[in-house]
Amino acid sequence: MSKTVLGISAFYHDSAAAIVRDGEIIAAAQEERFSRKKHDPRFPKHAINYCLEEAFIEASDLDAIVFYDNPIASFDRVLRNAMTVGPAARDQFDKAASAMLGHKIWLNDHVKRALGTLGKAGSVLVAEHHMTHAASAFYPSPFDSAAILTMDGVGEWATTSLGVGRGNQIEILSEIEYPHSLGLLYSAMTYYCGFKVNSGEYKLMGLAPYGQPKYAQQILDNLIDLRPDGSYRLRTEHFGYLDGMVMTNDKFHAVFGGPPRAPESAITRKEMDLASSIQAVTEEIVLRTARHLRKETGERNIVLAGGVALNCVANGKLEAANIFDNIWIQPAAGDAGGALGAALIANHVYFNEPRKPHAGKQDRQKASLIGPRFDSNQVRAYLDRQGYPYHRITDDAERMRAVAAAIAEGKIIGWCVGRMEFGPRALGARSILGDPRNKDTQSVMNLKIKFRESFRPFAPSVLVERNHDYFEIGCDSPYMLLVAPVRKERQLPMDMVKFRAGDDDMLSVINQPRSDVPAITHVDYSARIQTVTPESNPPYYQLIKEFERQTGCGMLVNTSFNVRGEPIVCTPQDSYRCFMRTEMDLLVLEDCLVWRHEQPKMADDENWRKTYELD
Amino acid sequence: MSRQCFEYHPSTAYRFIPGLKARVPHESGGYLIRANSDGFRCDHEFSKARTPGKRRVLLFGDSFTAGDGVSNGHRYSEVLETLLPSTEVYNFGLPGSGTDQQYLAWKDFAQGIDHDVLVIAVLVENIRRIASRFRRYQNDQGQEVVFAKPYFTLVNGALALHHSPPERRPIAEDSLPPEERAAVDRGGRFETIRKLINRAGLKEIVQKVTGYQPVPEYGSASNPAWQLMRAILTEWTQAETKAYAKPIVIMPIPLYQHVEGTSSAKAYQKRFSEVGKDLGCTVHDPLPDLRNYSSEDRRKFRFPIDIHPTREGHAAIAKSLAPTIARLLPEI
């Protein structure tokens, strides 16, 4: 009997929905892509609507609707924390209690209001937060059995979970519980360095290569008690999140000699070194935990999820350490992926459905291209209705030739083709593309297209067969979740004298070519790699292949199709708007090419740089 | 986000995007729509040749027929298929259209399609839409713009087609001359008062107290709007008879005020009865059947806010229409 399950994550950050039929992922999407509010935590009514659309199923025919964490258990944590900490935790308790009691407890009402039904089960089922992360990591992976490691800020109680998946069953072996949390430690440092919690962690990771791990020992001496097996205890008196609404407190600030950096102020050597230090500590914890997990489970494969699994530098170190033979990371590793995990765990555990077979090394995540698509008919309906000029090129080869030639000429391309990605990375469906050989690409993309900090690196999408020509990496990296060095012979010497002597101007480093593909080579000669196969994303592969044919270079610069603070685009409308607000040259919407110089002036009286809250 | 569902069409002004598959958010929780490759919300691909062993009905109408508010499978066209064995119903319903655009759809998309019965479902409010020349639309930036629609006028008793093809681009309403601006379809009469009353939640009370007549155009056989409707139906049915000589059913679909008894239906019933007799068509009036249900059940024929038929409303229309169609269909 076929089973269709809807998974929902909501009310913390990055709400999302996913739908699974008989263990096959049909669709998944984050609410922010539809609501256009970054990290939107609200009930994901648009994402649910899309999932039902893709599955083409009446909501009343859903076999189960599953929420990604247990609100009662979460409330229990908040309550017990309040009782332990006392009156100082009142603000935090009030906020958490109103979120729990105001939203989560009334899940059935939310769903009924949005869908008009609770499906065949007649009630919303709830799963455990870390179990949904574990499920999102294991079930879509290509492994029949694997060790499971999930690490994030906090779920109900668990912040780090070690487990094992075999067949269609998952077992959690041990957990570290709140308030001890690697995710919260990283977020505390993110906050201290002046970046936004729950979104700025990525920037901190990008900043790390500019610094030295000078504060690593101070972190280990003062903030965390790290044990040989990777387990840890935070020294909670240094953190503000137990009894307040901020991540750090005066004791934390005292360890590092001053108050947090003000957001948007100049980044100094101190932040670079702090970023490098927390990154080093994180990598050490991940490696120790992985060694312990290998020993405990005897498994050859490891799967990862939870927000910490988005730390692709740590993932790269884990891969390079060869603790496990194979590694697979859920591309929607954060809370959004909990929706997928919730649907999968209900399918495999509650309904005891077997896992779908998979072909060879291929996983079951479908390249994470499991969001909405807007086909050529829909694209043209939009462009025609708005009266925007475009050129339709139905011949794939001809179209790829035109686009690849534009990139080779130094043009920046908006690319909205196929089903949207699930997860925070653009993987060649909603991407901005450029020429990695061009030394100006990084600064042009950062300053004229993305309007973001110039230190942030860009990632390469490389043909899978050219991966080892460019990078020192032992495996494929389909989801841009592994960082590895650019091959030595491609690296170019950099003049770091001034910078190492204490000049904080990162631009003096950034503007130097670091390899023959400078736009994707970070200052430590690393790159965040996406390997592309002909099967994973055929049009994207064809484009890179054509670019290789024209230039000899088998890769493109790939960054997410958005501006700073804006969710990645979803629809042709979003794409056109973002395209016209930036200095991109060409927009590709399925088989339609939209050249900027042919477009009418956009009647846009919105002060859009203020529309999106800075991330 | 909700998907753009329609694209420009030079004959009817717009149609569903061919091949569209979408779920439309709605007060009911949402509904699924699927369009075929001709751009109509029909699960069947339109085939000129017969499907062996099947009888075929062609059905034209507006959103009540296209099924706004319910999924494809719950519309009266699909319910009819379950009530009439070995029968396929080709649904040409076009939301927001008038009988004029539906006639143009017949001319453009139904030619050569072998069939047994033609059903022209006229939501009685369509009489107002055929007099309009523009329709309102919200663009992707949330601004209200208007689009031209094709329309007919009567010139010396004959239909003259205008806005054919209609302008493709949106038009700013305030750029239209006053006469044209008056021909923008605003979704009903008394726009400002209606908005105020609706906002106050007093719509039904006010309508009941005032004996509101939503379609006064049917009050006289000489009303220009009725004259135009009559002319469209005349030309359409004559062309159908000339080309195919198949039975034609005209079905006036009542508004909820008629179903729930707050407005009199006598005027429009009289007009359609007259035109049916004159044209030699079958007029199927579902209102008596719908009025046979309890007032509680009748209220369930529409949504709490949206006036389109619910699944129950569609089922009741199908149940009323099925015997009429059955009589006209050939034996299997």
Domain-located, residue B6:
no
Q: Count of CB contacts below 8 A, A vs B?
A: 76
C-alpha distances (whole Å) from A225 to each of A162, A192, A217, A286 are 19, 20, 11, 14
Distance from CA of B118 to the nearest CA of A (A): 30
Instruction: Determine, for residues A377 and B23 on separate chains, whether the beta-carbon distance falls below 8 Å.
Output: no
Instruction: Give chain A positions within 8 Å (CB) of B34.
Output: 56
pLDDT score at B172 = 84
**What integer is the mean pLDDT of A467-488?**
96
ipTM score assigned to the predicted complex? 0.91
- pTM for the whole structure: 0.92
Any idea where the domains of chain A sit in the sequence? Answer: 4-68+70-126+335-364, 182-326, 376-611
Number of residues that make up chain B? 332
Domain-located, residue B1:
no
Instruction: Determine, for residues A378 and B4 on separate chains, whether the beta-carbon distance falls below 8 Å.
Output: yes
Rg (CA), chain B: 19
User: For residue B212, is it left (φ>0), alpha (ψ between -120 and 50) or beta?
Assistant: beta
Q: Which residue, among B2, B3, B8, B139, would best test binding to A if mutated, counting the most A CBs under 10 Å from its CB?
A: B3
Nearest CB among A52, A380, A604 relative to B23 is that of A52
Instruction: Determine, for residues B29 and A117 on separate chains, whether the beta-carbon distance falls below 8 Å.
Output: yes
* Residue B171 banded pLDDT, cuts 50, 70, 90: confident
Instruction: Determine, for residues A387 and B25 on separate chains, whether the beta-carbon distance falls below 8 Å.
Output: no
The correct answer on CATH 3.30.420.40 for the domain covering A4-68+70-126+335-364 is yes
Instruction: Give chain A positions within 8 Å (CB) of B17.
Output: 377-378, 381
Instruction: Determine, for residues B6 and A381 on separate chains, whether the beta-carbon distance falls below 8 Å.
Output: yes
Instruction: Determine, for residues B8 and A381 on separate chains, whether the beta-carbon distance falls below 8 Å.
Output: yes
Same fold, A4-68+70-126+335-364 and A182-326: yes
Distance from CA of A377 to the nearest CA of B (A): 7
Of residues B50 and B200, more confidence is placed in B50
Of residues A516 and A448, more confidence is placed in A516
Domain-located, residue B185:
yes
Distance from CA of B17 to the nearest CA of A (A): 7
Nearest CB among A57, A116, A381 relative to B4 is that of A381
Instruction: Determine, for residues B29 and A114 on separate chains, whether the beta-carbon distance falls below 8 Å.
Output: yes
Given the DSSP bridges, would you call strands A169-177 and A158-166 parallel, antiparallel or unpaired?
antiparallel
Using a pLDDT cut of 90, give the percent of chain A over it.
76
Instruction: Determine, for residues B71 and A58 on separate chains, whether the beta-carbon distance falls below 8 Å.
Output: yes
Cα atoms in the 13 Å half-sphere on the side-chain side of A314: 31
Of residues A402 and A604, more confidence is placed in A402
Q: pLDDT by residue (tens digit) across B119-168?
A: 999 999 999 999 999 998 777 666 778 999 999 999 999 999 999 999 98
The correct answer on CATH 3.90.870.20 for the domain covering A376-611 is yes
Using a pLDDT cut of 70, give the percent of chain A over it.
92
Residue of B nearest to A603 (CA): B141
Does A605 score more than 60 pLDDT? no
Instruction: Give CA–CA dist A40/B215, Å, rounded.
Output: 45
Domain-located, residue B95:
yes
Q: pLDDT by residue (tens digit) across B50-85?
A: 999 999 999 999 999 999 999 999 999 999 999 999
Q: Is B63 helix (H, G, I), strand (E, B) or coil?
A: helix
Which stretch of A105-119, A122-136, A576-590 has the lowest confidence by average pLDDT?
A105-119
pLDDT score at A495 = 86
C-alpha distances (whole Å) from A376 to each of A544, A591, B32 are 21, 6, 20
Distance from CA of B296 to the nearest CA of A (A): 20
User: What average pLDDT does chain A have?
Assistant: 91
Instruction: Determine, for residues B29 and A45 on separate chains, whether the beta-carbon distance falls below 8 Å.
Output: no
Q: Is B153 helix (H, G, I), strand (E, B) or coil?
A: strand
- The enclosing domain of B262 has a CATH number of 3.40.50.1110
Cα–Cα nearest to B125, from B271, B272, B253: B253
What range defines the domain where residue B70 resides?
13-328
Domain-located, residue B5:
no
Domain-located, residue B7:
no
**What integer is the mean pLDDT of A497-503?**
81
Q: pLDDT by residue (tens digit) across A329-373?
A: 999 999 999 999 999 999 999 999 999 877 677 899 999 999 999
Instruction: Determine, for residues B17 and A387 on separate chains, whether the beta-carbon distance falls below 8 Å.
Output: no
Listed ranges A147-156, A558-567, B59-68; the one with the highest mean pLDDT = B59-68
User: What average pLDDT does chain B have?
Assistant: 93
Does B1 score more than 60 pLDDT? no
Rounded to 10 deg, the angle between the B311-328 and B76-83 helix axes is 50
Instruction: Give chain B positions within 8 Å (CB) of A604.
Output: 141
If one counts the domains in chain B, the total is: 1
Q: pLDDT by residue (tens digit) across A460-470?
A: 999 999 999 99
pLDDT score at A319 = 96
Matching CATH number, A182-326, of 3.40.50.300, 3.30.420.40, 3.40.1800.10, 3.40.10.10: 3.30.420.40
Domain-located, residue B8:
no
Does A419 score more than 60 pLDDT? yes
pLDDT score at B144 = 79
* Residue A385 banded pLDDT, cuts 50, 70, 90: confident
Instruction: Give chain A positions within 8 Å (CB) of B30.
Output: 49, 52, 59, 115-116
* Residue A46 banded pLDDT, cuts 50, 70, 90: very high
**What integer is the mean pLDDT of A592-615?**
76
Is the distance from CB of A53 to CB of B21 less than 8 angstroms? Answer: yes
